[in-house]
Amino acid sequence: MVILLKMLYFFPVFSSYCGSEMDFLTLFSIYVLVVLTCIALVCKYSGQQQTPFGRVYNTFSQVVSPWIPQCVQNICYRAVHRLFHQRSNFFIYLHIILEIAVYAEYSYEIFSFCLEMDTTMVNVCIPYVLLAIKTYIFYLCCSRDPGTLTKNNHAAQQNVYKYDEKLFQEGTVCPTCQFVKPARSKHCRVCNRCVQRFDHHCIWVNNCIGAQNTGYFLLYLLCVCAMAGDIAVLTADMLFHVVVRAGLMHAQYIDADGQQQPSGLLFVTQQLFLTFPRIVFMLGFLVFVFFLLAGYSMFHFYLALINQTSNEWFKRKVHTCQHCHPGHNCPTSYNPIRGYYHRGILKNLGEIFWPCPSPKKDN
């Protein structure tokens, strides 16, 4: 009953609705600004430069950059380059810090209140089980070799996939590794290595996603979505019971003219935000993470079903056609549902979750 008592303690403050409105709007504006900044950074540095947020970010940068001193721009450029274009454990540490913050708040306030609402012990412990599973899979994503091409395995990898002569041309040499690139491979500029069945470089695991760890990456996305969704549901249920038990929907407040007005959704949201700022902020963060990763997970599972990588998905839209003059771009003739490497759903999934073992790398 601690949270309910806390809500009842703040109930007299409800009459000062107008006085606290400015604080609410300030906090909420900061919250929205942080969320939009996160979305812009994700879209800008996810490798997709043609997203709406990416175009808005580029336009904003062009307008603002003349007003920023060159020394500050250089510092920002070096910082961004180090974070997003070089191997770094920064996002791994950030990932761990965010998890600690969410689970600390969940354990400190939400866990006990859920038990008071007669939520079963199994339900309130599910987030901890998901955390243990996700941590193990996260470790595999970070440590598992994605399928690095070496002198030992290069000959074998040449025979794994056929060249489609559209996205992957036979005889193409990687200028850095000096290997004839096998079909579906790509050189990662961040890791400075060629990776078989290259999908993308994930800054959150500080590793490439390739032939040997794509399955772990998909399971990792599922676990994070499940964690965020489960805690978000438990938190929303807790706040709902707080509103019901405190009778907020039947409360009244005094407006700027001194008249009593019945509470509404905005009033209830404001009081929850001001009374439980950490919980409401955490709930908003979890909802944002869930929907962002849910869409991202659906996209990657769709690619898994049709046996395509995200690298191939975005490259297939425009490629150099052999029948056009050099340098002319034309739409690809690939069918997005049945790509060149599509072998059926079961075989496609088997290729990802049970990949053929790759020879050990050279020391």
Cross-strand bridge partners of residue 186: 195
279, 239 contact by CB (below 8 A)? yes
Please state, in angstroms and rounded to a whole number, the distance separating the CA atoms of residues 186 and 47. 14
CB-facing half-sphere around the CA of 291: CA atoms within 13 A = 7
Distances (CA, A) of 53 to 293, 317, 320, 328: 17, 20, 27, 28
Q: Token digits for 290? A: 């869930």
Catalytic position from the list 202, 208, 223, 225: 202
Considering only CA atoms, which of 331, 344, 358, 25 is closest in space to residue 166? 331
CA geometry: angle at 289 spanning 84 and 222, to 5°? 95
Quick check: is 330 catalytic? no
Please state, in angstroms and rounded to a whole number, the distance separating the CA atoms of residues 278 and 275. 9
311, 186 contact by CB (below 8 A)? yes
**Which residue has 């007005």 as its token pair?**
261
308, 302 contact by CB (below 8 A)? no
* DSSP three-state, residue 259: coil
Q: Is 117 exposed, middle or buried (0-12, 13-18, 19+ CB in 10 A)?
A: middle
Active-site positions? 202
